[in-house]
Amino acid sequence: MYELKKPVAKLALAGTAALALACGSAMAQEKTKLRIQTHFSPETLSGQMAAEFIEDVTAMSNGEIEVEMFYASSVVKSAETFDAAATGILDCDMTGGAYQTGKNPAFQFTGDLNGGYQNPYQQMAWLLHNDGYAQLNKLYNAHDMEFVGWWIPGPESLSSTKPIRGVEDFKNWKFRSPPGIITEIFKELGASPIVMDFNEIFTALETGIIDGADAANLTNNVGLGLYDIAEHTNYPGFHSMPADHLACRKDIWDGMPDHHKAIMKVGMQALALKNTSINEVKNAQTAKDLKAKGVNLYEWSPEEMAKYRAAVQAGWTKFATTPEAKELLNSHLEFLKQLGAME
């Protein structure tokens, strides 16, 4: 009887070995390697948060997701990151949708309504609870990309070498602007927007090519060194609240295991909460520090805010010139009305 059992045991061992080999092969196939570019430098708060996102997805995936992050637009210019991902130079874009308004003005409404939402929590609510992922991916998928998530630091503050106390101070004010609707809004107010990359701002301010910059919030502006030159800013911010996105090439995304997709989405949602909350804390402290250093912080009056708001609403209508843009804008406006944030 003992001799008869030996082949059975050998078969069992062989089967176990084969199963282990198969499982090992399957695990090996579940590796996801991503090359991602962000426009933030590693020294800024947002750059540090991007690094923390990588740590999170690496830990949650037990090392199955490997991310190589390129900071400060080191591979291609910020506005070219989306195309670099779509064409295979990179795999994912961690800049912002508003850079792509030249493709379709609808991309403006994937990133910043410039005065629509009052805080990041409202805008994240649209994404999470108003079918935002599906609405955004109608647009992104048409350009061979998949929208994965947002992270929203909060309202931004302008930096300036001249006072910016109200709308009148924007007359003939030359400033760095991101592309998109913000250029139209500020032109309406008499300013002269100049679109340029993040890494060009400091030199342009230093040499007087520009009088100020629409770059980031107080804390990130400090990280960019802007208040070493610009002695004027506004706080709390009101003019812009960009949502930086993570978007990956569609075939890369579709080829990822479902649990990797879930980890990436949940990782972005965690990043969004951590980023928004830490920026609230950091900006409040930064405001105190800047005042102590002699930087002028201006809080606009309700009357001046009303003038800006009027220019914004006119800008939305002028900018929404395609069916996709009108559809996204209407979705946001209907949601804002549900929240009681707009009449």
CATH number of the domain to which 129 belongs: 3.40.190.170
Question: Is the pLDDT assigned to residue 199 strictly greater than 50?
Answer: yes
**Predicted pLDDT at 294:** 97
**Predicted pLDDT at 178:** 82
Question: Is the pLDDT assigned to residue 3 strictly greater than 70?
Answer: no
Overall number of domains in the chain:
2
Q: Are 171 and 235 members of one domain?
A: yes
For the segment 4-12, the average pLDDT, to the nearest whole number, is 48
pLDDT in tens, 110-125: 988 888 888 999 999 9
Residue 288 lies in a domain: no
Whole-number Å distance between alpha carbons of 90 and 81: 8
Buried b (16+ CB within 10 A) or exposed e, 168-191: ebbeebbbbbbbbbbbbbbebbeb
Average pLDDT over the chain reads 90
In the chain, alpha helices (H): 2-29, 45-60, 81-86, 120-129, 132-141, 181-188, 201-206, 218-223, 250-254, 258-292, 302-319, 323-339
Q: Are 141 and 178 members of one domain?
A: no
Q: What range defines the domain where residue 211 resides? A: 159-241+296-339
Residue 19 lies in a domain: no
Q: 333: pLDDT confidence band, cut at 50, 70 and 90? A: very high
**Predicted pLDDT at 2:** 42
Q: Are 102 and 198 members of one domain?
A: no
Least confident of 20-24, 98-102, 105-109, 220-224: 20-24
Q: 162: pLDDT confidence band, cut at 50, 70 and 90? A: very high
Least confident of 75-84, 108-117, 164-173: 108-117
Residue 8 lies in a domain: no
**Predicted pLDDT at 29:** 57
Output the CA–CA distances (angstroms, integers) from residue 307 to 17, 171, 193, in the order listed. Answer: 73, 14, 18
pTM above 0.85, yes or no: no
Q: Are 230 and 306 members of one domain?
A: yes
For the segment 254-277, the average pLDDT, to the nearest whole number, is 97
Q: Are 163 and 128 members of one domain?
A: no
Q: Are 250 and 317 members of one domain?
A: no
Residue 18 lies in a domain: no
Q: Are 139 and 263 members of one domain?
A: yes
Please tell me the chain's helix, strand, coil percentages from 3-state DSSP, rounded to the nearest 5: 55, 15, 30
